[in-house]
Amino acid sequence: MLVDIPQPRLTTAHAGPLFPVEEVILSHVNKIEAWFRNQWIMSSPPIMTSVDLRHAGYKLAPVDTNLFPAGFNNLNPDFMPMCVQAVQSILGCKCASILLIPESHTRNLFYQQSLAVLRDIFIKAGYNVRLGSLDETVTEAFEITTEKGDVLCIEPLVRRGNRVGLADYDPCLVLLNNDLSAGVPPILQNLQQRIEPLTQLGWASRLKSNHFEFYNQVVTEFAQLIDLDPWLINPLFSVEDEIDFMQQMGVERVAEAVHQLLLRIETQYRLYDIEKKPFVVMKADNGTYGMSVMTIRDANTVLQLNRKQRTGMATTKGRQKVSRVILQEGVYSAETTQDGAVAEPVVYMLGQFVVGGFYRVHQERGVDENLNAPGMHFEPLAFAKACNIPSSNRECVDPLNRFYAYGVIARLAAMAASREIIALDA
Amino acid sequence: MLVDIPQPRLTTAHAGPLFPVEEVILSHVNKIEAWFRNQWIMSSPPIMTSVDLRHAGYKLAPVDTNLFPAGFNNLNPDFMPMCVQAVQSILGCKCASILLIPESHTRNLFYQQSLAVLRDIFIKAGYNVRLGSLDETVTEAFEITTEKGDVLCIEPLVRRGNRVGLADYDPCLVLLNNDLSAGVPPILQNLQQRIEPLTQLGWASRLKSNHFEFYNQVVTEFAQLIDLDPWLINPLFSVEDEIDFMQQMGVERVAEAVHQLLLRIETQYRLYDIEKKPFVVMKADNGTYGMSVMTIRDANTVLQLNRKQRTGMATTKGRQKVSRVILQEGVYSAETTQDGAVAEPVVYMLGQFVVGGFYRVHQERGVDENLNAPGMHFEPLAFAKACNIPSSNRECVDPLNRFYAYGVIARLAAMAASREIIALDA
DSSP code per residue over A206-254: --HHHHHHHHHHHHHHHHHHHT--GGGG---EEEE-S-BTTTTBTHHHH
Residue A13's pLDDT band (cuts 50, 70, 90)? low
pLDDT at B10: 65
Residue B14's pLDDT band (cuts 50, 70, 90)? low
B364 touches chain A (CB under 8 A): no
CB-based contact B386 A80, cutoff 8 Å:
yes
- Among B107-111, B163-167, B329-333, name the one with the lowest average pLDDT: B107-111
With 60 as the cut, is the pLDDT of residue B364 above it?
Answer: yes
ipTM: 0.88
With 50 as the cut, is the pLDDT of residue A1 above it?
Answer: no
From the CA of B230, how many Å to the nearest CA of chain A?
A: 22
Contacts 24+ apart (CB under 8 A), A151-155: A152/A106, A152/A112, A152/A115, A152/A116, A152/A119, A154/A102, A154/A106, A155/A130, A155/A131
Q: Which of residues 391-410 of B touch A (CB under 8 A)?
A: 392
pLDDT at A221: 97
Q: A354 CB contacts (<8 Å, ≥6 apart)?
A: A347, A348, A386, A387, A388, A407, A410, A411
From the CA of A31, how many Å to the nearest CA of chain B?
A: 8
State mean pLDDT over A131-139: 94
- Give the 3-state secondary structure percentages of chain B, helix then strand then coil, rounded to 5: 35, 25, 40
Residue A245's pLDDT band (cuts 50, 70, 90)? confident
Residue B318's pLDDT band (cuts 50, 70, 90)? low
Give the closest residue to A177 by CA, choosing from A157, A195, A153: A195
CB-based contact B85 A3, cutoff 8 Å:
no
- Among B114-118, B162-166, B240-244, name the one with the lowest average pLDDT: B240-244
Provide the greatest CA pair distance for chain B: 64
Q: Up-side HSE of residue A106: CA atoms within 13 Å toward CB? A: 25
Give the closest residue to A104 by CA, choosing from A317, A287, A404: A317
pLDDT at A320: 74
pLDDT at A131: 97
CB-based contact A30 B126, cutoff 8 Å:
yes
With 60 as the cut, is the pLDDT of residue B8 above it?
Answer: no
With 50 as the cut, is the pLDDT of residue B5 above it?
Answer: no
B386 touches chain A (CB under 8 A): yes
With 80 as the cut, is the pLDDT of residue B127 above it?
Answer: yes
Q: What angle do CA A41, A47, A51 make, to 5 degrees?
A: 100
Give the closest residue to B212 by CA, choosing from B347, B41, B326, B332: B326
pLDDT at B177: 96
Using left for φ > 0, alpha for ψ between -120 and 50, and beta otherwise, residue B195 falls in beta
CB pairs under 8 A between A and B: 113
With 60 as the cut, is the pLDDT of residue A375 above it?
Answer: no
State mean pLDDT over A83-95: 87
How do residues B390-406 score in pLDDT, each as one tens digit? 888 877 778 889 999 99
Give the closest residue to A358 by CA, choosing from A67, A81, A50: A50
Q: Are the CB atoms for A417 and B145 separated by under 8 Å?
A: no
With 90 as the cut, is the pLDDT of residue B365 above it?
Answer: no
Helices first, then strands: H and E counts in chain A: 8, 19
Average pLDDT score, chain A: 90
pLDDT at B80: 94
Give B390's contacts in chain A (Cβ within 8 Å): 124
Provide the greatest CA pair distance for chain A: 64
Count CB atoms within 10 A of the CB of residue B41. Answer: 11
Residue B75's pLDDT band (cuts 50, 70, 90)? very high
From the CA of B129, how many Å to the nearest CA of chain A?
A: 10
State mean pLDDT over B356-373: 80
State mean pLDDT over B280-294: 81
With 70 as the cut, is the pLDDT of residue A241 above it?
Answer: yes
pLDDT at B203: 86
φ, ψ at A241 (rounded to 5°): -110, 170
From the CA of A225, how many Å to the nearest CA of chain B?
A: 15
From the CA of A401, how many Å to the nearest CA of chain B?
A: 11
**What does the alpha-carbon distance between residue B288 and residue B292 come to, in Å, rounded to a whole number?**
8
With 80 as the cut, is the pLDDT of residue A182 above it?
Answer: yes
pLDDT at B373: 64
Residue B119's pLDDT band (cuts 50, 70, 90)? very high
pLDDT at B375: 55
* Backbone Cα Rg of chain B: 21
Residue B245's pLDDT band (cuts 50, 70, 90)? confident
With 80 as the cut, is the pLDDT of residue A342 above it?
Answer: yes
State mean pLDDT over A99-108: 88
B422 touches chain A (CB under 8 A): no
With 50 as the cut, is the pLDDT of residue A196 above it?
Answer: yes
Give B76's contacts in chain A (Cβ within 8 Å): 1
pLDDT at A391: 85
Count CB atoms within 10 A of the CB of residue A66. Answer: 22
From the CA of A333, how many Å to the nearest CA of chain B?
A: 25
pLDDT at B369: 76
Give B388's contacts in chain A (Cβ within 8 Å): 81, 84-85, 88, 124
Average pLDDT score, chain B: 90
How do residues A388-420 score in pLDDT, each as one tens digit? 888 888 777 788 899 999 999 999 999 999 999
Residue B81: which of A37, A82, A125 has the nearest Cβ?
A82
CB-based contact A34 B126, cutoff 8 Å:
yes
pLDDT at A168: 97
pLDDT at B368: 77
Using left for φ > 0, alpha for ψ between -120 and 50, and beta otherwise, residue A316 falls in beta
First to last CA, chain B: 46
From the CA of B387, how many Å to the nearest CA of chain A?
A: 8
Give B79's contacts in chain A (Cβ within 8 Å): 81
pLDDT at A373: 64
**What does the alpha-carbon distance between residue A174 and residue A162 come to, in Å, rounded to a whole number?**
13
- The length of chain B in residues reads 426
Residue A8's pLDDT band (cuts 50, 70, 90)? very low
CB-based contact B388 A85, cutoff 8 Å:
yes
A260 touches chain B (CB under 8 A): no
Q: Are the CB atoms for B295 and B302 separated by under 8 Å?
A: no
Give B92's contacts in chain A (Cβ within 8 Å): 37
Single pTM value for the model: 0.92
φ, ψ at A416 (rounded to 5°): -60, -45
**What does the alpha-carbon distance between residue A231 and residue A61 come to, in Å, rounded to a whole number?**
9
Helix (H) / strand (E) containing A364: none
With 60 as the cut, is the pLDDT of residue B1 above it?
Answer: no
State the best of A85, A91, A127, A404 to mutate against chain B, taking most chain B CBs within 10 Å. Answer: A85
